[in-house]
Amino acid sequence: MKRLLVFIAVFATCFAVSAQQRPQYTQYILNNFILNPAIAGIENYVDVKAGYRNQWQGLSGAPETSYLSVHAPIGKSFLYGTSTSVPQGGGTNPNSRSYLQNYMASEPHHGVGFTAVSDKAGPITRTDLNFNYAYHIGITEQINVSVGVAAGVSKIYLDRSQIILENPVDQAIGTGSYDQFKPDLSAGLWLYGPRYFAGVSAQQLLKSPIGFSDDPVAYSQGRKVPHLFATAGYKVYLGDDFAAIPSLLVKVVSPVPASVDANLKLAYKDRFWVGGSYRKDDAFAGMAGFNIGSLMNIGYSYDFTTSGLNTVSRGSHEIVLGLFLNNRYKVTCPQKSW
């Protein structure tokens, strides 16, 4: 029982440091869709992203996260034209000042998507599957707003073989089902224009109980808690070929303190970018990435841990691979989400 209590204490500390039950993402700027369902269908192609994160490398049982996301616009505006108002051939470089002269708000359209996230920490593995829907509408000639929802299921699995108990019969974790399935619901709002974006979203709106005890009355159960996200970014043109994109992400998960991420991305044309990130009381990060024609892009980040875990952690690695499918307008760089 003592070893179990030690593990629970360490696991609770990890949650307190990361300020969330859901996975941490350093490169959220590359795929805000993983946090906000309102982004579904924002571009005029099928946007596919796959990500992997190895957090706090060197710490036994530290979180490992993998995800796959897919989203696209639907409707006649997309099938027979361009719902996102990009000219044939991809338009102008979105990191150039001239892009502002050609930018138009997207035509009203629907977006659909799918996310699959697997997160493993110690003996607990969680898999989330969600289907997303969003609706985009122009409120001015250059500004869009979209609303979105996501619904799905969470599977939470406890691997008892990784837990060594002083007493093999421990009612705190019980002997029942290793798997738990819980419904999941998220919602979001997204505002975007040629030089800025801002959004709010909420995940885990259903406060489902979580526990592995055979006696939930005697042993209090945990619970999924809502996660609130607010993010904003602004594009600053530094010439005809360069742009700087500062952004901010605030995460609120009661009862732990709010988490704040500040990012800066420097992009050259539609070819490559570098950047840095600071997560309050947790880590600094360096990032880099590039676009490969009109087919794919790739980003990598490394977190330097600054919290108390830096004595045992060798940092965190994260990689994101993106594919532009059905890219009939040969877009080589995201036009609406950067």
Cis link prior to 216 (omega < 30° from 0)? no
Look-up of token digits 């952690």: 313
pLDDT attached to residue 285: 95
Closest among 193, 30, 199, 234 to 99, alpha carbons compared:
193
pLDDT attached to residue 302: 94
Domain boundaries, the chain: 2-230
What would the two tokens of residue 336 be?
Answer: 């609406």
Q: Which residues pair with 53 in a beta bridge?
A: 65, 318
Q: Which residues pair with 289 in a beta bridge?
A: 273, 299
Measure Cα distances from 287 to 85, 121, 228, 253 in Å. Answer: 30, 24, 25, 26
Q: What is the pLDDT along the chain (338 residues), one digit of tens a residue?
A: 444 433 443 344 343 333 357 888 999 989 999 999 999 999 888 999 999 999 887 777 788 999 999 999 987 665 445 555 555 555 556 666 666 777 788 889 999 999 999 999 888 899 999 999 999 999 998 899 999 999 999 998 888 777 777 776 766 676 655 788 899 999 999 999 989 999 999 999 998 887 777 666 666 667 788 999 999 999 998 888 889 999 999 999 988 888 999 999 999 887 899 999 999 888 899 999 998 888 899 999 999 888 877 777 778 999 999 999 988 777 777 777 76
Report the alpha-carbon distance of residue 57 to residue 317 in Å, rounded: 8
Listed in sequence order, the residues at least 6 apart from 82 whose beta carbon sits closer than 8 Å to its beta carbon are 44, 88, 329
pLDDT attached to residue 93: 64
pLDDT attached to residue 205: 93
pLDDT attached to residue 174: 66
Supply angle C-alpha 174, 129, 18, rounded to 5.
70
Report the alpha-carbon distance of residue 93 to residue 331 in Å, rounded: 9
Listed in sequence order, the residues at least 6 apart from 16 whose beta carbon sits closer than 8 Å to its beta carbon are 256
